[in-house]
Chains A and B, each alone.
Chain A
């Protein structure tokens, strides 16, 4: 076997990996580059020259800005409610044994496994059948619905790795359940909650399909883009998309950093191996009150 062949074989996997990374990044670079384009016609498809005009005019198209503001409001409402409901669901699933767990699991999993077009269509069927006008309220109802399951998944994984001896210590030292929750549970869960909330926010901001079915005449950011795509998308859309990309990347980086810090803090505890982890390894779920009720 020649040396060149050997080199190719050794680096082939990394080579494919780098090509794949290029594939994921190229459209994003195109979006950012074309935010500086100066198209002559209505369509922003071919490069015709550099300009900063559209960056200066980023919020200069009233309908576009309105759509973006509406989307952010919508994402905010959806984030708050979905994070609250999803966290409670995750708490119930991880910390308690109860009848109907299978049903609860299915009800949480199946929406994630349902194509968006079916989620949108079925909700519209109901609204049409009982005669509900579509608008902002039907939108946030829908967004909360499809975000809850994702919140459950994220918070659940944090709760499973949660060291419950910390809560027990607080209780032993005389803290009430509420004080324990407020001063021990909540701070430790915060990175997980932040990640779940960000995911819910992003899912809502990005949603097109379900909104398209249930928006009525209300126009969200993705719906504006869809409408504009027929008659040519203004360059300002690229500018806003680039800004959103940078903001999301920073927020994401911050959450990851916070999560790392929380993990490091947890890792400094001397005996973290014989609490939650061993229970998990034996396939047993840590059950609430198992030590007290005995």
Chain B
């Protein structure tokens, strides 16, 4: 009996220790580094510089604001594209279903950097798309598509779209179609059946998808690096730059800590509503 009670701990301790040592404890180290003072030449010392937080956020508030703006717009665009797509796959695709699902996950089969660079090729100044945009006067004669807010938001939308499509598709797929039929039998119009039955029942997918899209989008800097210019730098660019180029560790650590706090606040809010296990794709919580 006693041995049985220890079994789960024996099974789980290697994995939990790994996560503790290489995920949780590094967070604590990052907090310590964020409170240090000094430079890479003179060395750093822990002086409990809480001002690091306010100063670094103040210095880079533009990039913080941009991260919010880009990731929120991209998340909304993802939702607008993903919902009809997931709906089409779940209810309208017939024998094309598997092919359409394949298309949704196909971007994952190429390297993240390479598919972002492919957009660089597509949107390049001398490219066809840029010529078309100039012809229809979407952009001025000497205008560019690359290195603009548009290209970065488009890249983020593209790269994180599957994270929105898959949860929405999963919740639509589980939906009992008889409920929609019942609504129609009871003289509901197609529109009100959608608004009152389909939409509420797919809400868990929408919420999960929104979270799964917003989180990586907020911290992303690959799209801003390849598809944007200096005026598109996001907070991820700053963190990378401060860590790896300027080696201003305290500022970089303070910034990542603030990013983590923002995300954690959103996730905890979500868990309060949906339960921690729902993030792993299970609906019932015991």
List residues of A whose CB falls within 8 A of some B CB.
12-14, 16-18, 20-21, 23-28, 30-31, 34, 44-46, 84-86, 88-89, 91-93, 95-98, 102, 104-119, 121-126, 128-130, 141-142, 144-145, 148-149, 152-153, 156-157, 160, 202, 205-206, 208-209, 212-213, 221-222, 225-226, 229, 233, 237-238, 241, 244-245, 248-249, 252, 280, 283-285, 288-289, 293
Contact = CB atoms under 8 A, between A and B. Distances in A.
Given A96-B8, A145-B18, A209-B222, A109 B276 contact: yes
14 contacts: A16-B84, A21-B103, A28-B109, A28-B110, A28-B115, A92-B12, A109-B276, A110-B267, A115-B236, A206-B112, A244-B109, A245-B109, A245-B110, A280-B284
A64 B197 CA distance: 53
A235 to B, nearest CB: 12
B18 A23 contact: no
B29 A122 contact: yes
Contacts of A142: 22
Contacts, number: 277
Interface residues of B, number: 93
Closest 3 CB pairs of A and B: A115-B219, A17-B88, A96-B8
B256 A121 contact: yes
A128 B12 contact: no
B112 A208 contact: yes
B259 A117 contact: yes
B216 to A, nearest CB: 6
B33 interface: yes
A13 B260 CA distance: 37
A208 B127 CA distance: 27
B118 A85 contact: no
A263 to B, nearest CB: 15
A16 B267 contact: no
B8 A92 contact: yes
A46 B121 CA distance: 7
Contacts of A27: 107, 110, 115, 118-119, 122, 158
A86 B15 contact: yes
Contacts of A119: 23
Contacts of A21: 85, 100, 103-104
B259 A30 contact: no
A88 B92 contact: no
